[in-house]
Amino acid sequence: MKVGLVQRVLAGYRVPFFDMLADALQGELQIFSGESRPNEMIDHSRIPVSAKVWPGKNLHLFSGKFYICLQLDILKWLKSWNPDILILEANRRYPFSIAAALWMRFRRRPVIGWGLGTGSTFDVSQCWFLRLFDALITYSSAGAEAYRAAGFSSDRIFIAKNAAAPRPQGNMPQRAYTPNWEKSPILLYVGRLQERKRVDLLIRACSVLEESFHPILWIVGDGPVREQLVEISAECFPETVFWGALYNQSLKEKFDHADLFVLPGTGGLAIQQAMASGLPVIAAEADGTQNDLIRSDNGVLIRAGDLDHLVQTIRNLLSDPIRLRKMGEASFRIVHDEINLESMTGTFIEAIHSVKA
């Protein structure tokens, strides 16, 4: 059984998942993906080992809410790979996906959509678009509910909770259980240094909390606003350490030595890695994909862009170190038992078998 999977761009963080999915399909997976826009700064350094890749041609038009991506040679790829099942991103901003779905339907072959949900509103054209798919895979319960509200059958919706790392092996890193901080608590941010990530808010929040907790802030990552963030930290919170981009064991060491993980802006792929190291998480509310990952017993979702809310949330968690450690244990359980690459792969295989039947 040959499976084709379409991605606008093959981002490095997705490669372990695609390789695991390819292994589950005995290597019969080929990915169609094109180049990103230069300003997106997407990491393409990782190359799949088990999954095959077809380098597609993307034509990027407009920007913002008007952005459209034309995957110009997607039909050429379909004729070449000739898949039995096709997995497409369920995104109307990629209009050639419609042509690909119709190509499969004309040959009576199933198509699976993979998306976030319908957004806050949906219309007749969106309902028609969803009818192109035999099944839908989404990251979250919120996404599944959106698809149900758009009229898609519940028994054809599959929730593959977004994972970026495999199930943790071994035990959770050990941290001291004490009612008071014996040393300065370490707050950790991991991700691209972009304006939308609002790392500046985290630096300012730490400066407000300096007198109460004397925290240390570790920032891992690189990006276009690094120099600006270095200037802000020098001005208001010199206890900030910029580690640059780290990977593998060097990155794991930072997770293992931190006390609290904070993502004050959009994005959140590092959340699962933090949880695998037994860290409680503070993250800004975004598209709903974090809601299944961050719960009341392992973290807090905050209002995006709200400095006061961020400060108060950090203060509340640091005020009770024992509770913080228990929240970290809950994080570890969630990624070990529920949300990991193995579970995500299993859901994709379940969806594939459902349409094959």
Write the pLDDT tens digit of every residue in 291-320: 788 999 999 999 999 999 999 999 999 999
The whole-number pLDDT of residue 345 equals: 98
- Asked whether the predicted pLDDT for residue 120 surpasses 60, the reply is no
Higher-pLDDT residue of 347 and 266 is 347
Q: How far apart are CA 262 and CA 212, in angstroms?
A: 18
Q: Can you tell me the mean pLDDT for 198-202?
A: 98
**What architecture is the 3-163+340-356 domain classified under in CATH?**
3-Layer(aba) Sandwich (3.40)
**How are strands ordered across the β-sheet holding 281-284?**
240-244, 216-220, 186-190, 260-263, 281-284, 299-302
The whole-number pLDDT of residue 121 equals: 47
Higher-pLDDT residue of 203 and 161 is 203
Query: What's the pLDDT band for 287 if we cut at 50, 70, 90?
Result: low
pLDDT in tens, 72-112: 999 999 999 999 999 999 999 999 999 999 999 999 999 99
Q: How far apart are CA 82 and CA 97, in angstroms?
A: 15
The whole-number pLDDT of residue 346 equals: 98
Within 10 angstroms of residue 134's Cβ, the number of other Cβ atoms is: 20
Q: Return the bridge partners of 301, or none.
A: 283
> Please, what is the Cα angle at 237 between 323 and 219, to 5 degrees?
65
Name the phi and psi angles at 34, rounded to 5: -115, -170
Higher-pLDDT residue of 141 and 55 is 55
Q: Is 2 exposed, middle or buried (0-12, 13-18, 19+ CB in 10 A)?
A: middle
Helix (H, G, I), strand (E, B) or coil at 285: coil
**How are strands ordered across the β-sheet holding 52-55?**
52-55, 29-34, 3-9, 85-89, 111-115, 135-138, 157-159
Ranking 25-34, 118-127, 178-187 by mean pLDDT, the lowest is 118-127
DSSP state of 64: G
Check the CA dihedral 121-119-97-131 and report its sign. negative
The whole-number pLDDT of residue 357 equals: 67
Mean pLDDT of the chain: 93
Tell me how far apart the terminal alpha carbons of the chain are, to the nearest angstrom.
12
Question: Is the separation of the CB atoms in 280 and 299 below 8 Å?
Answer: yes
Q: Residue 273 corresponds to which amino acid? A: Q
Q: How far apart are CA 13 and CA 162, in angstroms?
A: 11
- Asked whether the predicted pLDDT for residue 5 surpasses 90, the reply is yes
Nearest to 35 by CA among 86, 80, 73, 83: 73
The whole-number pLDDT of residue 122 equals: 55
Question: Is the separation of the CB atoms in 270 and 263 below 8 Å?
Answer: yes
Report domain 186-337's class: alpha beta
The whole-number pLDDT of residue 124 equals: 67
Higher-pLDDT residue of 32 and 44 is 32
The whole-number pLDDT of residue 116 equals: 83
- Asked whether the predicted pLDDT for residue 117 surpasses 90, the reply is no
Residue limits of CATH 3.40.50.2000 in the chain: 3-163+340-356, 186-337
The whole-number pLDDT of residue 295 equals: 94
The whole-number pLDDT of residue 27 equals: 97
DSSP string of 139-199, one letter each residue: SSHHHHHHHHHTT--GGGEEE----SSPPPPSPPPP----SS-SSPPEEEEES---GGG-H
- Calculate the dihedral angle through the C-alpha atoms of 345, 350, 355, 357, rounding to the nearest 10 degrees: 140
Q: Can you tell me the mean pLDDT for 207-235?
A: 96
- Asked whether the predicted pLDDT for residue 285 surpasses 70, the reply is yes
